[in-house]
Structure 1
Amino acid sequence: MDRLLITGYSGFVGGHLLNALDESCEINLLGRSAAPKCDKYLEANIDPSSDYSSVLQSVDVVVHIAARVHVMSETAANPLEEFREVNTAGTLNLAKQAVKAGVKRFVFVSSIKVNGESTTGRAAFSSTDKPDPEDPYGISKAEAESQLLALGKETGLQIVIIRPPLVYGEGVKANFASLMALVNKGLPLPFRAINCNRRSLVSVYNLVDLIKVCITHPKAVGQIFLVSDDEDVSTAQMVAMMAKVQGKSNFTIPIPLWCFRILGKILSKEHVVDRLIGSLQVDISHTKNTLGWCPPYSIEHGFKLACKQQR
């Protein structure tokens, strides 16, 4: 039986992964908050200098989920360096110590932001695309991926990289939760005309299932896997599904797309508008073909569980 070290276990994805693991699994945890029942626990930050040796002993696989994520009101003088401190240098520090401890495999949960921000007017992102990150978070993740793959070639550490798009499910926060709350209130929303874009999402249940496969699958080694529910939706379809699973009427108004673009320019929020009316699709054929994996849960299943918090 493999012994796992999981980072980010107190976060959204990490918490769901812990709940989904078989009780017979031996689990070590690395984090910054009180640990649930586990074999070993270390309270520490992910950074370039911390010593993780106490929780890496006898570990076979590291599942690295912890990261410095998006900060809505960024105050750092140099945001890129702040992201690199944790997501790049901190990740490499953990991986190098994993090599010294004899760890076999390092599963790194990265981000689709390594590929870029939008697929509007182009084909879906694929695992073979040249990285094209646009923000400090995506850049730090891309650099971590590159350095991990180089470390794997140098040392034999089995590197597996997973790039999820927006992840949702019970306990989700940020924009997805805010939109579900608006739909739940029955307010008229101006999204009916946003019906030609396509967004790839992944429920935390499908993402966790893929992580579990990547922990042991022999063909996962050295691979980059994109993941989604394999059911891309428009913004209008997303809102309609949110209404359906919450038992609400789909009260939406067909505001022309040019209105959103003008408003975005006026408010200097073009990037927000692009996420709303633009596309971001991922091609998961490499993931399915390499691992023999398909998302076990439908997008409606994920939406139903995500809406629990609105009740």
Structure 2
Amino acid sequence: MIKLTARSRAVNKENAPETLEVYAPIADRLGMGKLKSKLEDAAFKCLHPEKYKRVESEAVKKCDDRTEYINKIKPALREILEKEKIAPLEISARAKHLYSLYKKLLNCEMDFDKIYDLVAARVIMKDINACYLALGAIHQQWEPVPGLIRDYIARPKPNGYQSLHTTIVGPEGKITEIQIRTPEMHSHAENGIAAHWAYKEGGVNNKETAWVGKFKELTSVINLFENRIFVLTPKGDVVDLPEDATPVDFAYHIHTIVGDECAGAKVNGKIASLDAKLKSGDLVEILTQRGKKSSADRLNFVKSALAKDKIRSALRAKNRNMGAKNR
């Protein structure tokens, strides 16, 4: 079993697939970007060592050049913001992790020059208002690339990630991604819900300890069962379901009324059919319709005994009510 910490023992060929299919998606859905990256890179290195070496070798050279460029434009970037009286708290360079880079290269004919966010400039501002002011100031100075502006503050990702992303034509004509966020957003992007545990437990030093405890709790459950999947609620709670479970199974696990009134579902932020097969790491949100009753056809696709029992119970109650009305 793999532990999701920086000190975990090395991922091996036996557990690397599990790392990519179960643990990395769970870390992602919990918003733990740093941990997700470490898990994916470790599994990538183990499963595809030759590809890993090739990507790493080329990335090191390219990243060094791009990092040098980001460091070179940092004074100009800081000057632009300070001129608008919105001094940044921090400006740094962020390199894309190898597995994420590899997946992107597959869609770009393995051409590193087409990866504009290989190394991005990360700007930390004091609050949300300063983030938007910074975005405007940057666009006044450097031309933004059309279609490559993302507002994850107004519309966060399903895992809670928030940031402003823009891609600009910077000095020397180099296309560069800039990410703008607050300290709280950055903490969540790096550590996800562990950031909230850390604040509750009394500070940054407890962050890793809190996550280790929570994950040990989770992995002990995962070890006990085979043919199970582990999906997430919008609040980050992990729900244990049988393999091939559907949103209806999930809904009944949350509450009988949620299951009965389930009218639709979103999986990873997108509308999904009620008979869709869920997989580990999915973020599931149930859409309800007040007064809606469960139907017999759902028995054809639900997988959990709990859901089947609840549906049959609802159907029996419905039949009893109809019988009473006909008397």
TM over 0.5: no
**What is the TM-score of this pair, normalised by structure 2?**
0.24
**What is the TM-score of this pair, normalised by structure 1?**
0.25
Q: Which protein shows a greater Rg?
A: 2
The answer to which structure has the higher strand fraction is 2
The answer to which structure has the higher helix fraction is 2
